[in-house]
Structure 1
Amino acid sequence: MKVSTTLAATPGMETSKLSSRGFPTVVDVDLGDRSYPIYIGSGLLNQSDLLQRHIHGKRVLVVTNTTVAPLYLDKVVSALTNGNPNVTVENVILPDGEKYKDTDTLMKVFDKAIESQLDRQCTFVALGGGVIGDMCGYAASSFLRGVNFIQIPTTVMAQVDSSVGGKTGINHRLGKNLIGAFYQPQCVLIDTDTLNTLPDRELASGLAEVIKYGLIRDAPFFEWQEKNIQALMSRDPDAFAYTIKRSCENKAEVVSQDEKETGLRAIGNLGHTFGHAIETSCGYGHWLHGEAVAAGTVMAADMSYRLGWIDESVVERVNNILKQAKLPTTPPEMMTVDMFKSAMAIDKKVADGILRLILLKGPLGSCVITGDYDRKALDETLRAFCKS
């Protein structure tokens, strides 16, 4: 993984200086001929050249939703067409929410692309959070068997995690993200100013993924988060610029080593097996993804402690930082042991009938992906967090 920093977004440097001087931070995802840059900075949607250099052909389809469109669609269209009259931009505005990450909504993207007579030289642009990024990317991977696409993530969740690495897809009523493809974008453009319009609950939800990176592979980053969690909760621009940069570096390094999640990349799913079970069982959208992952992370830490793999102090630190981030540390009361087991049985990490889990093991910043664990510990954790 290579990181080229034109102007590093680190604590102590105002992010406004990034845009005024025109130098975004750049993190490169190193995947050979599929490599691409992640641009991070303030005011990047005002820099037309960043987007335009990654547009292929003369036709663009912007995929967004009813919440983001009124805020940023005009600005993105302007960035795509400014000084570039040969480019024409279509858009499709989807309903907002995880419950719409399905085949019916996906077809609206295909409908618009076909009605607009887009060809293989076109570029799809995902403008929104993780749901839009996943759906637009999957549509781009499938339309005419694959067209170019660009990610413009507008939520913390998407900026630090889901927009990077090429995971795309939709949900099935029986399980989350079971239908999809690995398909890399041309670039990821992260304008940190978009976080100014993000609701508090969405902001907190994204921090669950930030906290995850520290726990699985970057202890110094976790310790930095513990010291700066209040700055993040108050939307300090310096703290967020650093958080996004460091998260993207962690994600890019893992993706560069294991693009299609045959091994190492699965560590990014800490808390997700329990979390996806919550989302699937409760109905998509009732809990935000990060909220479910937060509760799932506490459960994974609890199980790791029961196995004797981590100290009790790590469990306490996990609980403490998630509570400070105003994230749930227990699953919904409606969840039962049977509901967890049923949903986890069809998790993507089941191999040869064995559920592999990402668990913490050793000092802070270390984890394992394993199906070799005492099943009693899993049962004990489920019983501890469920009433029945």
Structure 2
Amino acid sequence: MDLKQKLNLVINSLTDSLRSLLLRSRDLIVLFSKHPHTRLCYKCQALNIASLRNSNGFTHGTPSEILAAAKSDCPLCILLEKNFDLGPPSMPVRLHGIRRILPSNLSASPNVGDIESIRVLNGCDRDVDNPFSHTLALLTIADDLAAKSLLRRPFIANFATEECSRLIKSWLNKCILCHPNCTINSPVISRLPSRVIRVGAHDGLEPTLFTPPTGHEGAYVALSYCWGRRKNILLTKEMTKLPNMSVIFPISVLPKTLQDAIQIIRNLGFEFLWIDSLCIIQEGDDGEDLRRECITMHEVYGSATLTIAAAAAGSVHGGFFQCPKTNPKMQSDFIIKYDLDDCSLGIANIAMIVSMNHTRGWTFQERVLSPKTIWGGIVPRY
């Protein structure tokens, strides 16, 4: 037996994951399964960061091939087959890396950590940059080498903690102090919407409806959420006829998502919260106020100091504080070796971004219009 045959014998005795490390150069993304009995198909093993950075992307198998690989327990093909429209059976699925251009103080090169997500395109998709296409997120923990380039972090299990509030405040402060374009396009203090909710404080004050004087300025947070079909508390025409600050919304009677939103806003130290169902007249005026306010949504969400989104809740009764079913530390079985310019390797994960907000037209516009958003219930944004 010659040396080459001996080497092949040794390599073949190793686990699939370690074999991938030996057979591939450092510029490849290496996928591992946390479950040693599962096998990545040959297509998934060939997935590499160079092809994701390439404008042509990575050509995977056809839907028929992906289905066959999924039946053979390829974990990534199972993920693709169960969660994506893979298109015509005979047309290959393509994967494209979505770039995030980092500011100069975060990256010495535009290619360092620029791949933040993987776009999945079926054979019918022609537009590589289609924002409506499905994506897989890449994320990493804060103390990993990849963290300096890959800014998405794992799920925060409990938005109600002081630790989470401090983290969100640090993000917001960094954005205000270090990102001048953010404050130009979205000032911290701006003209308040026609109505806002004064959230009260921890001393027992209940939330009240506040109609600010024309031109009154302040810092406020906007809420993005799905109403659902169950009964919700709504602002009526009769309520707006009462004296300012006399309409009270007791916390105990509000739906769960609104209760959680008020708790978050109080923890962050904000005074005002904008909620569409409580700040736009929904009953009693034949839709006149709704028509008037709808054309100002670009101002309401665009001028908010922050938007918080209850992304996991399918209705207003779902709440913010829903823990994922997967491991909150790292949300996917797929660990990725993330190569950096200095030849070091960080670790990232592939994770599904699941958001009920992405399935509703109204909440989609809120996502587009809001400069700074904190997502609750999915992989958090930045």
* TM bucket, shorter chain: under 0.3
Bigger helix share = 1
Q: Structure 2 length normalisation: TM-score?
A: 0.26
Radius of gyration: which is bigger? 2
Higher relative contact order (CA 8 A, sep 6+): 2
